[in-house]
Amino acid sequence: PPLSPPPRRGLLNLHHDRHKNKGERLATFMVYLTTVDAAAGHGGETYFPAAGVPPGDQVAEEFEREHRTGERFIEPACELARLCEERLDAWRQAANEEKDEQEEEQAARRIGVGARAQEGCALVFDALAGDGESAGRAWHSSCVVTGPEEKWTLTFFKSPMPLFSSMLMFG
């Protein structure tokens, strides 16, 4: 019998928006160009498994360690990715329940934050913490689209001004 493909996971690629060899990006701006019906279980979200969690969170601390070593991507088969998949499942379940603002904030402290792909909506997020250190909470992943829709985005990155450019402007 033919081999069946492995089951699709929820998270496509856990990563941090940073240049491979050129340091940090300061911010990411992303616009959804299409809508994916996540409420119907079609996926397509952008998910931040360590955003909004309290200090000392196991996942956020592991992301910080990975970031300090220069990692940009998390292997899908590792324990950290498994924990993030569990948080994604919990976030999706919570996102489909009626909650007031305080309950939503409390849920984020345990399971992270996400955004559903909705045409015309935009995300803006910092890649660095306010003190200029790495932001473990900025690790994120696009989620697999399992329905008939396609997910299209337009993404811009803000990087620090190159030294040479800043010398021309301010020198």
Mean of pLDDT values over 16-45: 84
Please state, in angstroms and rounded to a whole number, the distance separating the CA atoms of residues 22 and 159.
9
Q: Which residue has the higher pLDDT, 150 or 9?
A: 150
For the chain, the 3-state helix, strand and coil shares in percent, each to the nearest 5, are 30, 20, 50
Task: Answer yes or no: are the C-beta atoms of 13 and 81 closer than 8 Å.
Answer: no
What is the chain's Cα-based Rg? 17
- Joined tokens for residue 141: 């992943």
Interval 117-132: pLDDT, tens: 999 999 998 876 655 4
- Which residues on adjacent β-strands are paired with residue 114? 47
Q: Looking at residue 111, what is its pLDDT?
A: 86
- Which residues on adjacent β-strands are paired with residue 29? 124, 156
Q: Looking at residue 154, what is its pLDDT?
A: 96
| Complete DSSP assignment for 16-75 | --B-SSS-B--EEEEEE-S---GGGT-B--EEETTTTPPTT-HHHHHHHHHHHTT--B--
Mean of pLDDT values over 25-32: 88
58 has a pLDDT exceeding 60: yes
The closest alpha carbon to 65, from 140, 133, 160, belongs to: 133
